[in-house]
Structure 1
Amino acid sequence: MNRPPIDSQITFIYTRDLTAAADFYERVMGFPLWLDQGSCRIYRVSGDGYLGICRANESRASGEGRQSNVIFTLVTERVDEWYDYLKQQGVTFEKPPLFNEKYRIYHCFLRDPDGYLIEIQRFESSEGGN
């Protein structure tokens, strides 16, 4: 039996302040809102890739440090352009664009208002993919 196709992919993360998170992902990152479910907002990141931001309930909100287990990675050939664009938006970067020899990637890091790590990267080798 062949594996059935996947139509799209959504990664969900949680926020204590949905208004601040929505402002960051809509205004700063420029992601178009695809679906507003009230307590969750889903953004189109690329063709069939989505990011869902959901208001955390009390049990989730008390889970300090969970953000450290997540890296939301955006893959693009235009790392430097994203870096310049986000700097103009007032974003502070944890690491500016640099080449990582071990993984053969060019990347930079920033955090969203809830502390989630966002990586913007370009693969420097064609070994991955299809």
Structure 2
Amino acid sequence: MPTPMTERLPIPSIDGVLTMFYYRDLAAATDWYERVIGFEKILAFEGLSLFRVHQGSQLALVGEGFGSQQPIAGTNKGAILSIQTRVLQQWHERLFRYQVPGTGEGLQSGGGGLTIEFKVRDPEGYTIEFFEWIE
């Protein structure tokens, strides 16, 4: 007889996924994601900028002193934004035109040879990975 710990119950519906990054300079990060990356800003409050990444996927930029967490110094943030795309070359060209560090290295093999990718860092060191599965 299945128990609650072994039985696979259906999950309730999910309307979206939100990733939260924390910043000392929220204005600079907001400008970078809006202007350089090109994400659509869908909400802005004091201490918060919310961007649509994809249908049902959003990125929240939270300013220092707001939210439940605080900005982490350095580049090891413990989280990255990983963007899967079928137009990897177009993303690379866009960010290369903006002279975003990391784009000069070109596309790399990643994921144990399962992906082609490139990685950049945002103004406060969060890693943004763009990748495409190799078919």
TM-score by length of 2: 0.83
Cα offset for 1:66? 7.0
- Cα-to-partner distance string for 1:95-117 (whole Å, 9 max, x where unaligned): 53112261501100100001001
- In the TM superposition, 1:25-40 aligns within 5 A as 25-40=33-48
Q: Deviations over 1:18-41 (max 9, x none)?
A: 110011000000001111122111
The answer for unaligned runs of 5 or more in structure 1 is 126-130
Quick one: which of 44, 50, 65 aligns to 1:42? 50
Change beyond 3 A, Cα 1:25–1:101: closer
Of residues 5-14 and 86-95 in structure 1, the stretch that sits farther from structure 2 once superposed is 86-95
Partners of 2:133 and 2:30 in 1: how far apart? 29
| Letter in structure 2 aligned against 1:35 | L
> Could you list the runs of 4 or more consecutive aligned residues of structure 1 that deviate by over 6 angstroms after TM superposition?
none
Change in CA separation of 1:67 and 1:34 when aligned onto 2, cut-off 3 Å: farther
Are 1:110 and 2:124 an aligned pair?
A: no
Q: 1:70 to 1:7 in 2, by over 3 A?
A: same
Answer with 1 or 2: which has the greater Rg: 2
Letter in 1 for 2:15: D
Secondary structure at the residue paired with 1:33?
strand
Question: Which residue does 2:107 correspond to in 1?
Answer: 97
Cα deviation, 1:29-67, whole Å, max 9, x if unaligned, reads 000111112211110011110000000229824x43474
Read off the aligned partner of 1:92 and give its amino acid letter: P
Count of residue pairs brought into register by the alignment: 124
Provide the C-alpha distance between the structure 2 equivalents of 1:67 and 1:101, rounded to a whole number of angstroms: 19
- Unmatched segments (≥5 aa) in structure 2: 1-8
When the two chains are superposed, the root-mean-square deviation of aligned CA atoms in Å is 2.0
Question: Which stretch of structure 1 is more off in the superposition, 47-56 or 96-105?
Answer: 96-105
Query: Matched residues, percent identical?
Result: 27
